Structures are given as C-alpha cells and as structure tokens.
Structure 1
Amino acid sequence: MNKFEKGFLLGAATSAHQVEGNNIHSDLWVIEQLPNNQFDEPSLDAVDHYHRYEEDITLLAKAGLNAYRFSIEWARIEPEQGKFDELEIEHYRKVLAYCHEKNITPIVTMHHISSPEWLITTGGWEEESTVEYFKNYCIYVVEHLGDQMEYICTINCANVGAQMCSEALELQSNIPISAERQLLMTETAKAFGLAEENRANIFLSPRTEEGDRLIMRAHEAARDAMKAVCPHLKVGVTLSLLDIQAETDNNVEAIAEWEKDFKHYLPFLQKDDFIGIQNYTRKFIGDKNSMSASEEIELTEQGYEFYPEALSNVIRKVAEEISLSIIVTENGVCTKDDTRRVEFIQRAVAGVQACIADGIPVKGYMYWSLLDNYEWYKGFVKKYGLIGVDRITQNRMPKPSLYVLGDYCNK
C-alpha cells in the first residue's frame, strides 16, 4: 500500500442536518413534517452526532485519519433573522477544539444544503438579500471561531440546483403538474408563510439562471468577508461533478454538460484558495442520446454505476481548466457490502495518487461519509458510512473500510 505524503489531508465528511439531529429551525425540518412531503422519513434525532461528536471524531482519529470535514448549521447559529445563538457558537467551538486535541484538521462547511426557516420566508435562494444574509452569518462565525479554523468551504454543491434542469423545465413550462405535486407545493408555501402561488426556494429547488449566479455571488461575498476578518483562512467552494464521457471528443452534448456543471463557474473561483470536488460516478453520453448502464454494469444501491475511476478523471479535467489546489470534499459509495466499499476506496485512492504523481495539486481526500446517516429524501436506508449506526441505541459500529482508508494516511 502506498501511503500519501505527510501533510496530505485524509479523512471523511458529514453534514450537520444529516448527522446532528433535531435541527428544528431549518427549512428541511419544516418540510419533513408536512403530511405530503417527498422525504421517505424525517431526520428526527438523525445519528445524534450533536452529542456524540467526541466519540465519532475519536473513531476517526484511531483509524489513523487526520482530517474531518463537517458543516456548521446556519439555522442553529441564527435561528431568527439577525439573532445569533452564542450557546451554539460555543458548541461548534468545542467540536473544533476536540478536532485539534485529536490532531484532526477540521475542514468546515458554512452551508450544506439546509438553511434557516426564516431565510426561505424572505425569498430563499432566489432572493438578492440572501447574499448579504449569508455573508453576515459567515462573518459572525469566523469572528468567533476563525482562530480554530484553517480550511473553509462556503457552500456545498453550489451547482446542485442548476443540475436539476429537467425538474426546472417541468415547473416553468406548460407541462401539467400532478395534483399531488401541486398540493405539496401549496403546503410548502404555506409552511413558510408564503402565498400559495409562490415557490419555497430552498437550496434543493431547481435553480433559475439568476439564482445560479446569486449563489456564486454569495460565495464570493462570504469568501472575501471571512478572509478580511481572518486572512489566514483558506476558502473555497464545492461543486458536484460527474465524470462526463462521450464516444467522441467533440460531442456537443457532453461539451454543453461540462460547461453547465463546471466551466461557467470559473469566473467566480479566481480568488479562491482551493476548489472542492465532489464525485460519485460517471455519465456516458452517446452521439445522439445519453446511454444508460447495461445489465452487465454494477450499480450501487443509490443507482449509480460503480466506477471509482470517475474521480481521477474529474480531477484531471478540472486541473486542465484552473490552477487551484484541489480537495476531494466528497467521494464514496452507497452499499451495505463493505467489501465493495473497500474496493471502491482502493481504486479511488489509486486514482488520486496517480493524479498527484502527475503533478496535479490534490491536497486532500474526504470520503463520504464518516457515518451511515440521513441521506436526504431517501432517509436512513442508504448506507455510505465508514461507521455503521444502530439507530435504536445509537451505538457506533466501525467497518473495515474505515481502517483501510486510515492505512493510507501518513500523519
């Protein structure tokens, strides 16, 4: 086994809403409680990472890993517009301090999908005021915790709304919307105090072009403001990127897809310190139509092709376009068979090491996820974690894959 060089950030990732539990002031918590919502189950206690973070970080450290990517929940820090909770800031200070105690480098994400309920009431991720609100929240956090931080991701999967183009077309065209869908939209609007005809613009909503730009302007504003307060911070944004493959190099559809997913964001990244890459699989595009996986291709329990090599392909494509340092902020596989997770990790890591050997500045790899957690609309049934969790007792059950990943670390 070839270990990474000393100083390479090797660890795992989580997000607050998926692991902490009881984020009662967030927009997703509101939606999860609606009778006709699209979530298979509510998050509730999740995996109680809010109270068990020491146990989880200890397991990470004992496996030999040296980094932990986690998010600060905006809805905890600012449960009401303009009112900040000092007790919650103190909680995250303790999380950061415990990371340092265990010689774990924290990589902090300021926004990971969930938002404060009040933000959606004021227009959410299509409203101009959100840029200022997000910037002010980020300033508050680094003013109080910046001395404990080094790496910050402003916004997780900043491009996810733009990737939902097919759903956006359904919402904005004359295609009839089902009665169930219309009822959900109406109930959601009411839950946020909006008029029935208005859409609740949560982060997972299909994004307009202006909303897409707004998110990146929020990233820029927060980045610049945080670095003004704490110049030592290394700040970047994370993008969800498929390995887009085509039969020919000049495939128009593939070129357009890469432009939509990545290249049109480049102007907003020029002052960043790194870019966070998140990849799980590839997408193959033929000359005329996208080609679905054949029966011979192994699919994960998420329905993705089992293709760890997608990550290194994406790293190389990104490196061709921009000279920033790269941190793999998410990469993983959904499976209950940990032997498949082990193989996925081994092949993905080999690809990362090959990229580094070729001179690409990859500085870190964060496996998704540290824990089997709440996988958004699919609830708790999807298993990505290096650590299993009995949700009745909340007991932690480390898997062999945790130690396989840890063996690559050279602290």
Structure 2
Amino acid sequence: MAAKSFLSIINKKYGEGADYQGDQHGGSTGQNGSGLPKNNLSNFMFATGIECSYPTIENGKIRRDMLEECGHYTHWKKDLQLVREMGLNVLRYGLPYHIISKVEGRYDWDFSDQVMKEIKRLKIIPILDLMHFGLPDWLGNFQNPEMPIHFAAYAAAVAKRYPWVRFYTPVNEIYVTAKFSAKEGKWNEQLKTDKAFVTAIKNIVAASILATHQIARYRPDCVIVQSESAEYLHEATVCKSAEIILDNKLRFLALDLLYAHPPDADVCMYLFDNGLTRNEYEWFMKGEPPGYQVMGNDYYGRNERLKMPDGNIVNVSDILGWYQITKVYYERYKKPVMHTETNVFNAEKAPMWLWKQWMNILQMRKDGIPVLGFTWYSLIDQVDWDIGLAEKKGKINECGLFDMNRKPHPVAAAYKLLLSEFGQITVTPFGEIFTISVKDAKLKKQA
C-alpha cells in the first residue's frame, strides 16, 4: 500500500487548492520590506545630509562656509521640503557652530531656531552635527587645549535648547579634521607636523567625549552616530614601507581614543614621541563615552589611494570598497554600523555609485553585521570639494541629489527607486522583534 502524501490529507481537510501562503519573507509580519520608509524604531534609517563644512583657509582670512556657498541660508525651507519629497525621514544636519557661538558663553540661536522648528514640524529626524571641520574665530584652531571644555559647553547648550533631538554626531570626521588641519596644512592652523597632528587629534577626541557627556545630561537615551572616514592607502611594492603601515594604522586613531581601544604598539610610540602624555593616554583609556554608540563610516571611492613604485600617490576608486574597509572597522570595535556619507563627483555616474554602495550594505547585512542606516551626502551639490576646500575657486561638484537650483539630478530618481524597493526593511534582517531602545543609556562601570 502506497503511503499517502500529507498534502492529500491537508487537501481533504481544508479543500483542494487551499491557499497556503507561508511566511516567505521571514519575521513576525511577513512584510518584505518594500515601500517608502516609515518613522518607527525598527526601520532602517535612510538619510541624506546638508553639506555644512566651515573650515578657515589662508591663515584664517577666509571662512569656507558651505551652508552659505551652497545656498542653504537662503533656501533652507526648500531644502527641508526636498528631504520630505524624497520620502526620507532622516537628515544629517549641521548647525553653524561658528555663527551660533561668536563670543564665549553667548549664543545666537536666530537661524538655528527657525530651521529646527521646521525640521520638527516636518517630522524629520535630525542627526545633529555639532562640529564640522571648523571652530568659531574666538576659539582659534585645534591646537587650542581649551577648545574641548568650550565645545562641551556649546554641546550642553544645544541639547538643552532642543531636548527633542536624540541623534547626534558631536564631531564630524575627527581623523580628517586633524589630518587636513595639522598634518597636510589645508585648513585652520595649516600645520604640517606629526606633533601638530597629535595635538589636534587628542584635543578633538577630548572635545567629542566631553560633548557626549553633556548631551547625555539632557538626553540620557542619546544615540551617538560617529561619522569617521573609512580610508585605506595601498602600496604597489613588494616590500611594504614602515611609513605606509603606520599610516594605515593611524586611520583608526580617532576611534581608538574615542572608544578606549588600545592602539598598536608602534602607534603608541608615535603618539608619545609627538606629545601625548601618559596621563592623557590613561584618560582616553578609562572607558567609552555614554550614549548608544553607532560607528558611522564615510566612504567615497577617493578614500582609497595607491602609492606607486615611483612614490607617486594617486586616487583609486573602489579597490576594497565600503564593505571590505568597514568590515575591518567593525571587527575592531564591534559597534553597530551606519554608512554615513557617500557620493561621486559626476551626476551621470551617481546612480550606479548609489546602487554599488547599497549592494555593499546588503552584503554586510547578509554577513550578520548590524547596519542601521545609509546616507547619500549631500542633498545639494557642493563647492570645491574636488580640492578639499583648500582654495576658493567656486567649482560646483555635481554630487548632490539636487543641483544648486534645487533641480533633481538622476541620482534623486535612483534613490527614490531604492527607497520604494527597500524603504521598510528592518535594522537587521528578520528584525521586527528588535527596535532602537527607548531606555536611557548608562555608563559602563569598570570592576
């Protein structure tokens, strides 16, 4: 006697052709994740940003204020409307520190109050950027050891004034800020020494740590999205030089000090040789700052460079890519990840670059690494970033979702398509059960 199939029994019980859907998408709801993003605490965070850099050049004579040069002070209402029209709920937004804080201890909130009120009205979630490559004139530059306490006071004032803001980037790209200001001589103090670089990076990391403590006083549940450049310098030689080996370790330096991760021995020797004291080192190694920490990695193809056998260093795009580089950062710090910046300086090539970055994110998620969000940076085209803002030439870089006239580039349509397909995916695959906690973050206690 032939054994019956369980399907024949099911069909007899429930009827031939009974509609059995299954849960083909996984998770509690069976939702496949398509549709425009929603404001809920389990949703992947799709974002854009408004370029807000403000370093000084020519020994402080010229301020490169990207909010001004990209027209945001004039078109801020339109810019915020464009964020909503894109279907985005999250915006990396930088308040102009150099304008708000023109005098020690006094703050001008006129512009920021208007913008923040509109952001709140539009129900946009801001990731509030408090320092973006520059300082107010009265603070000088990043060699100033008093800078951390003054910046912490500013962070406290911001958190107190806007208590509804939960997400912060205290200091944007600490490593790049220190490198361009004190090692490559492009901005601010415009120095080119290892000692100046170490001084800048320790002052900036200290500022970020103290600012985070102040933010946590007013928002104990704060989410701190560090935004750090994901870099790598390749070397096309058989014998690797000690210089390049050290350089590739120094890219971790800001996060090592921030997250109390002991640097490698050669990096420690470099730090001590260039002015870091034992007491300062021990202060950094006491523990991580408060808040829910997210490791944001910024990746542009130009972040990867190649040193040729003749010593010439050239930009190369996407040898390792965001996935390979960021995975190394993740394995080092074990923090949830966000792709916090990307673009390409070509409006026609931007859509494919967007999709390449998104494939990197999907691969990272497939490997079980929690990626919380993605940012196309920026909303509007930028100016002179092809030369790192080092000179004021006024060249428009076509890297925004929209041009300077607030007309969409092709990448805007590509991003909308991406959002319609993936906009409701959860932070982690099968992650409906997980949300960003609403509980207060607590300092880790050492035994």
Structure 2 letter corresponding to 1:267: L
- SS of the residue corresponding to residue 342 of structure 1 reads helix
| Aligned counterparts of 1:2 and 1:32: Cα–Cα separation in 2 | 50
Partner amino acid, structure 2, of 1:384: C
Deviation at 1:289, TM superposition (A): 6.6
Q: How does 1:198-213 map to 2 (within 5 A)?
A: 202=188, 206=192, 207-213=196-202
The answer for the alignment partner of 1:160 in structure 2 is: 176
Structure 1 distance, partners of 2:312, 2:92, is: 34
- Once residues 291 and 360 of structure 1 are traced to their aligned partners in structure 2, the CA distance between those partners, rounded to angstroms, is 36
Q: Residues 280 and 333 of structure 1 are in contact (CA less than 8 Å); yes or no, is this contact kept in structure 2?
A: yes
Query: What residue in structure 2 maps to residue 132 of structure 1?
Result: 149
CA distance in 2, matches of 1:231, 1:268: 19
Classify the secondary structure of the residue corresponding to 1:225: helix
> Which residues of structure 2 form unaligned runs of 5+?
1-31, 260-287, 425-447
Q: Give how far 1:70 is off.
A: 1.4
- For the 8 Å contact 2:51–2:380, the answer to whether it is kept is no
- What residue in structure 1 maps to residue 441 of structure 2? none
Match of 2:348 in 1: 339
Structure 1: distance between partners of 2:254 and 2:52: 29
Of residues 398, 402, 408 in structure 2, which corresponds to 1:398?
Answer: 408
The amino acid that maps onto 2:179 is Q
Tell me the equivalent position of 1:307.
318
Return the alpha-carbon distance in structure 2 between the equivalents of residues 357 and 311 of structure 1: 15
Secondary structure of the corresponding residue to residue 352 of structure 2: helix
2: CA distance, partners of 1:264 / 1:55: 35
Distance 1:326 1:265, change over 3 A: same
SS in 1 for 2:397: coil
Q: Give 1:157 deviation, angstroms.
A: 1.3
The residue type paired with residue 134 of structure 2 is: S
Deviations 1:351-398 (A, max 9, x none): 111101111121111112110133433534322111011xxxxx3111
* Aligned match for 2:110, one of 68, 71, 87: 87
CA distances 1:290-347 after superposition (whole Å, capped 9, x unpaired) = 6755xxxxxxxxxx43438621122111111011112222111112xx3311111111
Q: Which amino acid aligns with 2:150?
A: Y
| Corresponding residue number in structure 2 for 1:214 | 203
- Give the greater-gyration-radius structure (CA): 2
- Residue correspondence of structure 1 range 177-326 to structure 2 within 5 A: 202=188, 206=192, 207-245=196-234, 251=240, 252-263=242-253, 265-269=255-259, 270-271=288-289, 273-281=293-301, 282-284=303-305, 292=313, 304-307=315-318, 310-326=321-337
1:75 maps to amino acid? H
Alpha-carbon distance in 2 for matches of 1:130, 1:72:
18
How far apart in 2 are the matches of 1:2 and 1:379? 41
In structure 1, distance between residues paired with 2:177 and 2:62: 23
Paired residues of 1:138 and 1:226 also in contact (CA < 8 A): yes
Q: Secondary structure at the match of 1:146?
A: coil
- In structure 2, C-alpha distance between the alignment counterparts of 1:46 and 1:287, rounded to whole Å: 36
**C-alpha deviation, 1:407, in angstroms:** 2.4
- Segment of structure 1 superposing worse, 72-81 or 45-54: 45-54
TM-score by length of 2: 0.68
Q: What is the rounded CA distance, in whole Å, between the counterparts of 2:137 and 2:90 in structure 1?
A: 31
Please say if residues 343 and 376 of structure 2, whose CA atoms lie closer than 8 Å, have aligned partners that are also in contact: yes
Alignment of 1:49 with 2:72, yes or no, is yes
Cα distance, 1:274 vs structure 2: 1.1
Q: What is the aligned-residue RMSD (CA, Å)?
A: 3.4
| 1:159 and 1:261 in contact (8 A); partners too | yes
| Equivalent AA in structure 2 for residue 319 of structure 1 | Y
- In the alignment, which residue of structure 1 is the partner of 2:17? none
Paired residue total: 344
Alignment partner of 1:59 out of 82, 97, 117: 82
Question: TM (normalized to structure 1)?
Answer: 0.73
CA distance in 1 between counterparts of 2:58 and 2:114 reads 20
Which residue does the alignment assign to 1:110?
Answer: 130
**Aligned counterparts of 2:232 and 2:358: Cα–Cα separation in 1:** 16
Separation in 1 of the partners of 2:334 and 2:51?
27
Unpaired runs of 5+ residues, structure 1, are 19-25, 172-180, 182-200, 294-303, 390-394
Separation in 2, partners of 1:263, 1:89 = 32
Which secondary structure does the structure 2 equivalent of 1:398 belong to? coil
C-alpha distance 31-162 of structure 1, shift in aligned 2 (>3 A): closer
Mapped to 1, the partners of 2:331 and 2:59 lie a distance apart of 42
Distance 1:327 1:111 in 2: 19
Q: 1:50: how far off?
A: 2.3
Q: In 2, Cα distance between the equivalents of 1:88 and 1:109? A: 15
Structure 1 residues 125 and 398: alpha-carbon distance in aligned structure 2, compared to 1, 3 A threshold: same
Task: Quote the residue 1:383 is aligned against.
Answer: 398
CA contact under 8 A between 1:66 and 1:105: conserved in structure 2? Answer: yes
Query: In the alignment, is the contact (CA less than 8 A) between 2:297 and 2:337 conserved in 1?
Result: yes
- Once the two structures are TM-superposed, the CA of residue 45 in structure 1 deviates from its matched residue by 4.4
CA distance, structure 2, for counterparts of residue 318 and residue 262 of structure 1: 8
> Could you tell me how far apart the structure 2 residues matched to 1:87 and 1:365 are?
31
Q: Check whether the contact 1:280–1:332 (CA below 8 A) recurs between aligned residues.
A: yes
C-alpha separation between the residues in 1 aligned to 2:189 and 2:121?
Answer: 30
